[in-house]
Structure 1
């Protein structure tokens, strides 16, 4: 097996080559990372998760974060079911839950005019974690996730995750270190960084650099990668605060979110962050209108009651105030020309909050990229694994971005329906009831926000490390529901086995061959031998008596990637030559057109020419390259 991480014109199938220390000519001090240590720019959730997953696979990393502490901003407030499944994979799901909303609390989402009213207009009920677990156990039909979602503020999430990283000997974190620039060279990446506390600038040489440095990513801008998208036509004033005035806040009952609509206008929302005393309001303000004259307390009152009739509560402490400009966008490439720099999370794609896809998509990037990088560093993963990162993850991001716009439009339409006959308070009772019923029907017919399992779990990867099934047609895909299938590229269905064990818990650390045949000792032997000959870790999972699982899994032999997605499947065990080709293909050592096992398409550059992307929920599309600027951006967006 060839040794050396080469440029895009060569094939990296082995360990990264040695890198010699050097001294920068500008008298800055220089640091050279070990060849198998990855530099991560950005210590937010995506960068920290990337470091933890790399550690899980035995790879060291250095994380640089310009801020001196983890975020104060609440941002994300839900780790979705798919992310929780991946945290379970690396042994962190239970620990994460200890820091979130307790499992007995339901997660009702209400749509309301204001808290001056005793009842909301309508609501979307979501089960508690405990109730969701009961539903998962009762159904066992593959349609539901193994792990329920977990409500958890990003401020709490990041602080917990940094603590986990600080205890990990495979990870070094340096907070208060700003990445100034990165220069991709033939043999390494030279990154210029500043220790903000000491005012000291130096360079760091690494074989790989991952840009997890947010929407305004210096790494992306330095590479001059185009970012297509744009902002929504409003901006938001965010107030994060403490209050124990539960009687006033719970006037319409316990809630996770309340979305407030005026006649013709989606006013904002309140989020219950911990079911104790921590809350966040989002007040939407049209571009062109000022927020400076709005006191933070008044912003909360207006959100809860309305612009002309604020609803006052007792606020104990204002924690954070900021504006932010919701925007949706996607980078045209996820990697650099020489394939040494990669983008993940908001540096590659941006979602508006509706749907909760943004950070969760970033976590998916981190898991996908980490195992592929680790496989290459271990020596048995080929360059095709790294090319597949963009091919797998970019289409998923585009789908989620578009869907977040769909969810946002639900609220805009709801507000239009609410104001269709003028102020509801001025209508006669019959007309007012008709308006409220129309809003109720609209929201009940469009209830996919935080519920669309097709978006969360039905992601279908189509890169060239996936071997499509030539014998069957691809199942129809729906954004609203997950279709249990082992069609190659999909997440495999969760099912409890006869002894109660989740099938996911039988998988190995790396690849797994799930074998339902009655002659498991011999039927899959050629695949096992092929993996052994290539040095690929493969666990043989034999389940000859699992009739229910076999029915849901559709095929006798199913090859599972480290991220629980299907690489290949068949009812027939492959012959020796095909077994070797299968293992070489799924590990990125032979690139094939998806659906063909017998054609080698040779080298494919990780950075391709991509046309500008357009999204239906953005009015004015922009393309930004060396800059990142929107009107009324918040501090945490820069």
Structure 2
């Protein structure tokens, strides 16, 4: 490592962010929304050209709505009237498909949200957008933010955490080594994270036995590409009947990505395949190459899907943290990777801001891993569940050594087999639809307060969000009687919702917050019967990341109000607080 030539102490309260991908840029913007400065280092000169993620899910869109970016983000992505169907095919040479998941457009999804006002729906529909477009857009926003300083082309070499500081050694574009000293640092620097390695944090998991050859390209040969109709994804079988590859429509105009899947034990050398050959092979499925007109090859690479979660998400002094792929990696099926990273950024961002401003204690930072790691472990495992759905296709097509191509014959047996496969996929359609995974993650940590009078926790299922204000959960979204969204009434920081006209201790919490300098917005919704029923208690305290911190029907005395706020803001830790 180049010997450090100078040291620069950053202004108090400035957070160092390592990595300028979606998670690092989002974290910078979340910190800025709370008035906190950040200095972000990214080793590359510009944002990515790689098509990593292509769906910002409903929960992430809710969070971006919270900081005022949802609508502008939508303007960068796929048009709202376009559906996003997922097809299962034996190859584009064939006239029919084996299966189809019908996923709604943004407009259709929004109509469902408006019509099904029962708390089960998100505040925002999902949004298709390529990571290459996403990063470029968000970087431009951060470039204009006076609280964010971006240094692209600056390579972080190491991070050292001490009890009162973090020293980040960086190589600037001229090759000079500089040590930046800050109170806190966050590694958002991907699966090979320098921050994680510098802190000596081990990772549990690794690659699965599959190789993938990626080709990102431009083509306007829609007559050939839309042989089965317009699509978002198509999964293709290979000659053995197994999952051979996939194509993703990135922008519904001219940009596409194919993935060719190869077993690790295969003797085939993917480096000898041209990018064009890879594309034709994927699209041909089990029937040989399917040529199309390719206008431009953008990028190509070979990669291995990984299932892994880092054992610890912070250094021993809780001053250096990990977020995004540095903390967890998953198979892309389900689209959980970047979306988990977005939630990491919001969780850690408001907690860092609270500690820096003095409105919260260090218990907030200690809660970060406790809250986010169980979510990541479950979601990472669930991405494997989705992948296995496609892997199970081979058992149906090639059972007892049968020829997989028989599925396309015009015979009674083939029609029966196609019907079986259709039902197989309809019964296993959770990929991009499992809202229990995406929206119903429930945090458990010392800063989540459960009243002694609480009933049994609501049932959880991966397939659906269960409306509840169980402490630690995301509260239900509904439209109020005036047509406004309940989430839009929440404050920028803490929110106290009261569902009673009679005194039930709300004034005690408001006064305690004022005394403790905890920014709290108080709202009375006693006249909203649907909200009152779904929110389940007279008093519901919502955190800055739109999760329930505490709820109760009443507070009887001032001491209890202080105990609630001291606990949820990380100043003390206790198991429960009496009403």
CA contact 2:57–2:126 (8 Å) conserved in 1: yes
2:559 matched to 1:577?
yes
Matched, 1:510 2:493: yes
TM-score when normalising by structure 2: 0.97
Aligned to 2:475: 492
Aligned match of 1:134: 111
Alignment partner of 1:91: what SS? coil
What is the alpha-carbon distance in structure 2 between the residues aligned to residue 147 and residue 590 of structure 1?
A: 35
Query: Which residue is equivalent to 1:561?
Result: 543
Q: Shift in Å at residue 187 of structure 1?
A: 2.4
Select the residue among 518, 527, 530 that pairs with 2:509. Answer: 527
Q: Secondary structure at the match of 2:270?
A: coil
User: Which SS does the other structure have where 2:399 is aligned?
Assistant: coil
Any gaps of 5 or more consecutive residues in structure 2?
none
Alpha-carbon distance, 1:552 to partner: 1.2
1:549 alignment counterpart: 531
Gap change, CA 1:333 and 1:516, over 3 Å in 2? same
Partner of 1:343: 322
- The residue correspondences of 1:110-509 to structure 2 (distance < 5 A) are 110-195=87-172, 197-262=173-238, 263-287=240-264, 288=266, 289-306=268-285, 309-420=288-399, 422-426=402-406, 429-471=411-453, 472-509=455-492
Deviation at 1:575, TM superposition (A): 2.1
Q: Which moved more, 1:236-245 or 1:547-556?
A: 547-556
Count of equivalent residues: 571
Give CA-to-partner distance per residue, 1:522-557, whole Å, 9 cap, x none: 741001111111110000011121001111111111
Deviations 1:384-442 (A, max 9, x none): 10011001100000010010000000000023212225224347612222222221111
Do the aligned partners of 2:92 and 2:285 also contact (CA within 8 Å) in 1? no
User: Where has structure 1 moved over 4 Å in runs of 4 or more?
Assistant: none
The two structures have a TM-score, normalised by structure 1, of: 0.88
The change in CA–CA distance for 1:549 and 1:430 in structure 2 (over 3 A counts) is same
Q: Deviations over 1:243-298 (max 9, x none)?
A: 00111111111110001123442111100001100000011012243101111011
Cα separation, 2, equivalents of 1:32 and 1:101: 43
In structure 1, distance between residues paired with 2:381 and 2:224: 36
- Describe the superposition over 1:14-72 as per-residue Cα deviations: whole angstroms up to 9, x where unpaired: xxxxxxxxxxx956022111111000011111000000000000000000000111001
CA–CA distance in structure 2, aligned partners of residues 419 and 189 of structure 1: 56
Q: Give the counterpart of 2:78 among 93, 101, 106.
A: 101
State the match for 1:4 in structure 2: none
Q: CA contact under 8 A between 1:414 and 1:443: conserved in structure 2?
A: no
Q: Deviations over 1:449-484 (max 9, x none)?
A: 000000000000001100124331100100110000
**Does the 8 Å CA contact 2:499/2:532 hold for their aligned counterparts?**
yes
Equivalents in 2 of 1:285, 1:87: separation in Å? 37
Counting only pairs closer than 5 Å after superposition, residues 603-618 of structure 1 correspond to structure 2 as none
Compared CA separation, residues 383 and 27, structure 1 to 2 (3 A) = closer
Distance between the aligned counterparts of 1:82 and 1:346, measured in 2? 18
Measured at CA, do residues 439 and 31 of structure 1 come closer, stay the same or move farther in structure 2, by a change above 3 Å? same
Say if 1:116 and 1:465 are closer, same or farther in 2 by CA, change over 3 A: same
What is the distance in 1 between the residues matched to 2:398 and 2:55? Answer: 31
Q: Is the 8 A contact 2:4 2:179 kept in 1?
A: no
Equivalent residues in 2 for 1:43-62, closer than 5 Å:
43-62=20-39
What residue in structure 2 maps to residue 92 of structure 1? 69
Work out which structure has the larger RCO, using CA pairs closer than 8 Å and 6 or more positions apart in sequence.
1
* Pairwise CA RMSD: 1.5
Please say if residues 302 and 309 of structure 1, whose CA atoms lie closer than 8 Å, have aligned partners that are also in contact: yes
Equivalent-residue separation in structure 2 for 1:417 and 1:308 (angstroms): 18
Q: Is the 8 A contact 1:240 1:321 kept in 2?
A: yes
Q: Partners of 2:4 and 2:158 in 1: how far apart?
A: 17
Structure 1 contact 29–201 (Cα < 8 Å) conserved:
yes
- 1:178–1:193: 8 Å Cα contact kept in structure 2? yes
Post-superposition Cα deviations, 1:81-106, rounded to whole Å, max 9, x if no partner, equal: 00000000000000000000010000
Tell me, in whole angstroms, the C-alpha distance in 2 between the residues paired with 1:37 and 1:508.
24
1:281-318 deviation per Cα after TM superposition (whole angstroms, max 9, x unaligned)? 01101224310111101100100003651111111100
User: Residues of 2 paired with 1:27 and 1:270: CA distance?
Assistant: 46
Q: Please give the secondary structure, in 2, of the residue aligned with 1:98.
A: helix
Using the TM superposition, give the Cα deviation of residue 574 of structure 1 relative to its aligned residue in structure 2, in angstroms: 4.0
